[in-house]
């Protein structure tokens, strides 16, 4: 097209006197984009464009008066020698501020351009384009642009990665031919579609664009779903972990509290809430320092190290607390507080039990070390009962001689104690005190236990031989406990040794002479056994040279309080306890009980009660059921008044303090001896 053709479409207007307003009106009326500008000789000097007008309006140019001066300032002429076709091209493609200057003869004088305007517009457009390109290049979304016909004209590097194809392979292609899945997007059926690409799974979304400046078309975004799947899986794991943690906290035996890096409470276990009587809402997201200062959890935020097994006291109750910081990258990002409370008593109890067991073990160890030597003396036989005191005196006298002693009495009355004390106060006290429990050794071993055996006496027997108890006790005392339980045949052998003071070892031929003192004990009715033939009469007479009868506890009830006191002192040492006494009810129960097992039973019951006692004193509930159930009824004729009761207690105490000495007790009480005897009779204190 000739330039002339362009210009012929435009009416030439004399603009010398043209006001701006008129120029605008003219351009709008004629729908012109260009307004040729003529000089006074009606020669065209330039072209005025709509954008020039807009700019003038924006800059606040007066709406009247000639525009020539403005044109002179803002419109410039380019080189006249510019080739016509280039000028034509530039005119055609120019949007703003460009015009053609035509000479009177119709030849082109040059191009008028608003260079500064065009350049700045182009400059900002290109920097915007650069920015867009950078964003698209680094985006982790695949981006594809299509024109109105859905032909691809752009794709970013990420989409090349996703598809494994170069940009050139796509450009110009129809998008839905390359990705058939996109048809559903273009048709509006789906707003998001899965799209299999070569290297990964993606989903695609589409949105259309339309601009007067740009072409119409679509933007298609491809998103890598493996990332989303990974995030979803991670989220799932986090959710599962949270649930596990919540369940653990719910069933944790201890009180547990967790805080974040700002010391705000994030989680609390139900036992913790129970313990401090809180609702969860009162603690969650609040500062642990404010709501639970006594926990001192903030310490670990400073020290950054765990504090394990600290003792804490809240409202007078002791707890064990662990404070543990949660660290990440050398920073405290939270803390855990663990309060142990329920186990504390159990731990204490276990600890106490362990201590008792240890004490007991060392006690027995001590006793074991003392075996084969008599451990007890007269002072170890605790009693205030006059009969017992007399018995001890008689036994002490008997100890001085060489005669055999037979100690009779119910089980647990202290017969063995007497045997020890007799040995210890005898001339043989430096010799061994050897105990044989005739009821505990199997019948067929009893003989070898007594007399020992020679080397090689039995096949399979210990080749070295064995020394018997008689041998062992040579020069000392042999205590034959439970003598009534010995077989008749062995009774004969024993009798022979007692008579001849000599014996043969099992399998031996050599006579062995011994100097042994025999003390025997039994709770069996030997006389009846002699009558029915189960105990040899001659042995009975041989043993029954000096006979001591130890009375059962129920026949010497005055001894009970004294024994309780002494046994408790001993047991406190042995068990490591600090029990100070008994309450009235339990004391009364112990006094009333019949004690079939005598002192041994009393000792066992006290040991058990002291183990269970929790308040420093034994109470009724600490005594065994079997005992409480078998308590004899209170004697009605003994029902006494409060005053009498006080009197009875005072007399008992006086007797106890004076170790049963009635004369001293009467003096202590300030009454006559006969007066005391009367009271003893009245209160059946025998
Ligand atoms: N008077 C006492 N003083 C101190 N402890 C006593 C007294 N009487 C008995 N005991 C204690 O009672 C327990 C039983 O005593 P012991 O073994 O001497 O009785 P026993 O009559 O020999 O019994 P068994 O006939 O069953 O052998 C022992 O622990 C002993 O220390």
CA angle 132, 134, 138 (to 5 degrees): 120
Would you state the structure tokens that stand for residue 609, as one six-digit string?
A: 């009660």
CA of 598 to the centre of ligand 1 (A): 8
pLDDT, tens only, 23-46: 666 666 655 555 655 555 555 555
> Do 532 and 544 belong together in one domain?
yes
Supply the mean pLDDT for the chain: 77
Is 641 in the same domain as 497?
no
Number of Cβ atoms within 10 Å of the Cβ of 288: 25
Top mean pLDDT of 1-5, 372-376, 508-512, 583-587 is at: 583-587
CA distances from 167 to 51, 153, 537 (A): 38, 9, 126
CB 385 within 8 A of CB 559: yes
Nearest CA owner, ligand 1 atom 13: 600
Q: 426: CA distance to ligand 1 center in Å?
A: 20
pLDDT at 75: 46
Please give the Cα distance from 409 to 314 (Å, whole number).
Answer: 57
Let me know whether 525 and 607 are in one domain: no
Q: Which of 417, 563, 567 to mutate to test the pocket of ligand 1 (most atoms within 8 A of CB)?
A: 417
Does residue 554 carry a pLDDT above 50?
yes
Nearest CA to ligand 1 atom 24: 411
d(CA 526, CA 483): 9
- Ligand 1 center to residue 573 CA distance, Å? 18
What global pTM score does this model have? 0.46
* Residue 130 CB burial class (10 angstroms; 0-12, 13-18, ≥19): exposed
Domain that holds residue 437: 378-550
pLDDT digit string (tens) for 404-461?
999 999 999 999 999 999 999 999 999 999 998 888 777 777 788 888 887 665 555 4
| Torsions phi, psi for 21 (to 5 deg) | -60, -45
Evaluate whether residue 180 is within a structural domain. Answer: no
More confident residue, 198 or 117: 198
Q: Is the pLDDT of residue 10 over 50?
A: no
Question: Which of 297-306, 390-399, 666-675 has the highest average model confidence (pLDDT)?
Answer: 390-399
pLDDT for the residue numbered 167: 78
- pLDDT tens digits along 464-477: 667 888 888 999 99
Residue 58 or residue 495, greater confidence: 495
Q: How far is CA 647 from the centre of its chain?
A: 58
Which of 599, 601, 607 should be mutated for ligand 1, with most atoms under 8 A from CB? 599
Question: Pocket of ligand 1, candidates 600, 604, 605, 606: which has the most ligand atoms within 8 Å of its Cβ, to mutate?
Answer: 600
Atom of ligand 1 nearest to the CA of 437: 27
Domain stop point among 104, 120, 136: 120
Q: What's 577's domain CATH number?
A: 1.10.8.60
Domain match, 423 and 288 both: no
- What pLDDT is stored for residue 364 in this prediction? 53
How many domains in the chain?
5
What pLDDT, on the 0 to 100 scale, is given for residue 678?
86
CB 406 within 8 A of CB 523: no
- Please say whether the beta carbons of 568 and 581 come within 8 A: yes
| Residues 560 and 420 both lie in one domain | no
Structure tokens at 322: 């662990």
Q: CA-CA distance, 587 to 650, in Å (whole number)?
A: 15
Q: What percentage of the chain has pLDDT greater than the value 90?
A: 23
Q: Is the predicted pLDDT of residue 83 greater than 90, yes or no?
A: no
| Across 27-36, 396-405, 538-547, least confident range | 27-36
pLDDT at 85: 63
pLDDT at residue 361, rounded to an integer: 61
Cα angle, residue 617 at apex, residues 611 and 621 outer, rounded to 5°: 65
pLDDT at 160: 84
Tokens for 558? 């005055």
Residue 313's beta-bridge partner residues? 318
Q: What is the pLDDT of residue 273?
A: 87
617, β-bridge pairs: 581
Beta bridge partners of 173: none
* Burial category of 372 from C-beta neighbours within 10 Å (exposed 0-12, middle 13-18, buried 19 and up): middle
- Residue whose CA lies nearest to ligand 1 atom number 8: 414
Strand 405-409 and strand 517-522: pairing?
parallel
pLDDT at 120 over 50: no
Mean pLDDT of 257-265: 92
Q: Specify if 80 maps to a domain.
A: yes
Report yes or no on 144 lying in a domain: no
CATH code where residue 667 lies: 1.10.10.60
More confident of the two residues 592 and 507: 592
Give pLDDT tens digits for 124-157: 455 556 667 777 777 778 888 888 888 888 888 8
Distance CA 336, CA 324 (A): 5
Three-state secondary structure along 459-502? Answer: CCCCCCCEECHHHHCCCCEEEEECHHHCCHHHHHHHHHHHHHCE
Mean pLDDT, residues 306-333 taken together = 80
ipTM: 0.98
**C-beta separation of 86 from 140 below 8 A:** no
Beta bridge partners of 586: none
Mean pLDDT across 505-520: 88
**What is the rounded distance in angstroms from the CA atom of residue 312 to the CA atom of residue 161?**
62
| Boundary residue ending a domain (550, 580, 612) | 550
- 221-230, 310-319, 428-437: segment of lowest average pLDDT: 310-319
Looking at the structure, tell me whether residues 395 and 542 fall in a common domain.
yes
Question: Ligand 1 atom 15: the closest Cα is on which residue?
Answer: 414
- Which whole number is the average pLDDT over 178-188? 82
In a domain, 162, yes or no: no
> Model confidence over 589-615: pLDDT tens digits?
999 999 999 999 999 999 989 988 877
The backbone torsions φ and ψ at residue 342, rounded to the nearest 5 degrees and listed phi first, read -65, -40
Is 236 part of a structural domain of the chain? no
Question: Average pLDDT, stretch 626-652?
Answer: 73
pLDDT of residue 115: 43
CA dist 686 and 675 (Å) reads: 15
149: three-class secondary structure by DSSP: coil
Ligand 1, atom nearest to 419 Cα: 18
Residue with CA closest to ligand 1 atom 5? 381
Pocket lined around ligand 1, Cβ cut-off 6 Å:
381-383, 409, 411-417, 481, 521, 523, 599-600, 603
Which atom from ligand 1 is nearest to the alpha carbon of 559? 1
| pLDDT for the residue 449 | 83
Binned at pLDDT 50, 70 and 90, residue 63 comes out as very low
388 and 499 belong to one structural domain: yes
Do 10 and 103 fall into the same domain? yes
Q: How far is CA 418 from CA 479, 520, 544, in A?
A: 11, 11, 16
Q: Cα–Cα distance between 406 and 523 in angstroms, integer?
A: 11
The closest residue, in CA terms, to atom 23 on ligand 1 is 412
State the distance from the centre of ligand 1 to the C-alpha of 600, rounded, in angstroms: 6
For β-strands 331-340 and 317-328, DSSP reports them as antiparallel
**Which of residues 463 and 293 earns the better pLDDT score?**
293
Both tokens of residue 157?
Answer: 């590097």
- Please indicate, yes or no, whether residues 478 and 609 belong to a single structural domain of this protein: no
Ligand 1 atom with least separation from CA of 417: 18
CATH code, 416:
3.40.50.300
Q: Which atom of ligand 1 is nearest to the CA of 414?
A: 18
Query: Which pLDDT does position 258 carry in this prediction?
Result: 92
Q: Rounded CA gap, 490 and 503, in Å?
A: 13
Tell whether 560 and 528 lie within a shared domain: no
Q: b/e string for 524-533 if b means 16 or more Cβ within 10 A?
A: eebeebbeee
**Nearest CA, atom 30, ligand 1:** 414
Q: Ligand 1 centroid vs 407 CA: distance in angstroms?
A: 12
Taking residues 39-68, report their average pLDDT: 55
DSSP string, 622-644: GS-HHHHHTPPPPPGGG---HHH
Phi, psi of 157 (to 5 degrees): -60, -35
Residue 362: count of CB within 10 angstroms of its CB: 11
Q: Say if strands 405-409 and 546-550 run parallel, antiparallel, or are unpaired.
A: parallel
| Cα–Cα distance for residue pair 501/513, rounded to 1 Å | 6
Q: How far is the CA of 552 from the centre of ligand 1 (A)?
A: 11
208 in a structural domain: no
Q: Which of 480, 478, 483 is nearest to 524 (CA)?
A: 483
pLDDT in tens, 339-398: 876 555 556 666 666 666 666 666 555 544 445 667 899 999 999 999 999 999 999 999
* pLDDT greater at residue 118 or residue 633: 633
Query: Side by side, which strands form the sheet with 307-314?
Result: 265-268, 255-260, 331-340, 317-328, 307-314
Least confident interval from 68-77, 227-236, 574-583: 68-77
How many angstroms separate the Cα of 121 from the Cα of each of 91, 97, 268, 653?
A: 17, 11, 63, 120
What CATH number is attached to the domain comprising 19?
Answer: 3.10.580.10
Of 317, 343, 369, the position where a domain reaches its end is 343
Whether 416 maps to a domain, the answer reads yes
Residue 106's pLDDT is: 47
- Contact between residue 170 and residue 155 where contact means Cβ atoms under 8 Å apart: yes
Whether residue 438 is found in the same domain as residue 465: yes
Consecutive H or E run containing 339: strand 331-340
Query: What CATH number is attached to the domain comprising 322?
Result: 3.30.450.20
pLDDT of residue 237: 80
Q: Is 507 exposed, middle or buried (0-12, 13-18, 19+ CB in 10 A)?
A: middle
Residue 166 falls within a domain, yes or no? no
User: Are residues 559 and 539 part of one domain?
Assistant: no
Residue nearest atom 26 of ligand 1, based on CA coordinates: 411
Is it the case that residue 287 has pLDDT exceeding 90? Answer: yes
Give pLDDT, residue 66.
46
């Amino acid at each position: 097209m000739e330039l002339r053709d362009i210009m012929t479409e435009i009416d030439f207007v004399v603009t010398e006197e043209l006001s701006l307003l008129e120029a605008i009106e003219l351009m709008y009326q004629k729908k012109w984009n260009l307004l040729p500008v003529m000089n006074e000789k009606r020669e065209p000097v330039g072209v005025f464009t709509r954008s020039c007008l807009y700019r003038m309006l924006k800059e606040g140019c007066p709406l009247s008066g000639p525009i020539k001066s403005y044109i002179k300032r803002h419109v410039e002429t380019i080189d006249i020698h510019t080739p016509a076709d280039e000028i034509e091209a530039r005119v055609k493609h120019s949007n703003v501020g460009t015009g053609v200057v035509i000479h009177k003869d119709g030849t082109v004088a040059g191009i008028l351009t608003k260079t500064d305007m065009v350049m700045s517009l182009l400059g900002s457009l290109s920097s915007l384009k650069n920015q867009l390109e950078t964003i698209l290049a680094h985006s982790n979304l695949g981006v594809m642009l299509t024109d109105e016909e859905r032909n691809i004209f752009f794709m970013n590097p990420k989409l090349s990665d996703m598809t494994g194809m170069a940009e050139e392979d796509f450009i110009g292609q129809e998008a839905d031919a390359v990705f058939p899945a996109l048809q559903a997007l273009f048709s509006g059926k789906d707003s998001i579609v899965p799209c299999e690409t070569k290297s990964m799974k993606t989903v695609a979304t589409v949105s259309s664009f339309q601009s007067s400046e740009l072409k119409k078309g679509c933007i298609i975004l491809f998103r890598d779903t493996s990332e989303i799947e990974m995030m979803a899986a991670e989220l799932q794991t986090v959710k599962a972990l949270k649930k596990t943690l919540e369940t653990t906290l719910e069933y944790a035996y201890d009180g547990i509290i967790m805080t974040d890096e700002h010391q705000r409470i994030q989680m609390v276990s139900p036992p913790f809430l129970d313990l401090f009587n809180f609702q969860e809402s009162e603690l969650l997201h609040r500062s642990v320092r404010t709501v639970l200062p006594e926990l001192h959890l903030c310490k670990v935020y400073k020290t950054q190290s765990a504090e394990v097994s600290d003792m804490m006291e809240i409202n007078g109750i002791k707890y064990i607390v662990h404070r543990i910081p949660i660290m990440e990258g050398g920073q405290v990002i939270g803390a855990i507080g663990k309060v142990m409370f329920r186990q504390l008593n159990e731990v204490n109890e276990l600890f106490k039990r362990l201590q008792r067991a240890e004490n007991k073990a060392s006690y027995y160890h001590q006793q074991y070390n003392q075996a084969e030597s008599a451990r007890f003396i007269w002072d170890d036989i605790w009693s205030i009962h006059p009969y017992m005191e007399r018995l001890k005196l008689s036994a002490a006298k008997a100890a001085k001689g060489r005669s055999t002693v037979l100690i009779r009495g119910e089980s647990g009355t202290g017969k063995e104690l007497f045997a020890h004390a007799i040995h210890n106060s005898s001339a043989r006290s430096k010799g061994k005190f050897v105990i044989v429990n005739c009821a505990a050794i199997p019948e067929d071993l009893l003989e070898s236990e007594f007399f020992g055996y020679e080397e090689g006496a039995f096949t399979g027997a210990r080749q070295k031989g064995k020394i018997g108890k008689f041998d062992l006790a040579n020069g000392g005392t042999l205590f034959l406990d439970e003598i009534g339980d010995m077989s008749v045949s062995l009774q004969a052998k024993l009798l022979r040794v007692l008579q001849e003071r000599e014996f043969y070892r099992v399998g031996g031929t050599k006579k062995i002479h011994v100097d042994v003192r025999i003390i025997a004990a039994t709770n069996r009715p030997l006389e009846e056994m002699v009558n029915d033939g189960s105990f040899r009469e001659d042995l009975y007479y041989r043993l029954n040279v000096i006979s001591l009868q130890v009375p059962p506890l129920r026949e010497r009830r005055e001894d009970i309080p004294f024994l309780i006191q002494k046994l408790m002192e001993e047991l406190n040492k042995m068990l490591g306890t600090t029990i100070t006494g008994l309450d009235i009810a339990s004391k009364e129960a112990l006094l009333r009980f019949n004690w079939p097992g005598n002192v041994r039973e009393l000792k066992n019951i006290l040991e058990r009660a002291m183990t269970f006692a929790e308040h420093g004193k034994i109470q009724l509930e600490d005594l065994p059921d079997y005992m409480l159930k078998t308590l004899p009824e209170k004697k009605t004729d003994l029902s006494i008044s409060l005053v009498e009761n006080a009197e009875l207690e005072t007399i008992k105490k006086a007797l106890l303090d004076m170790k049963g000495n009635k004369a001293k007790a009467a003096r202590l009480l300030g009454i006559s001896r006969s007066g005391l005897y009367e009271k003893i009779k009245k209160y059946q204190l025998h």
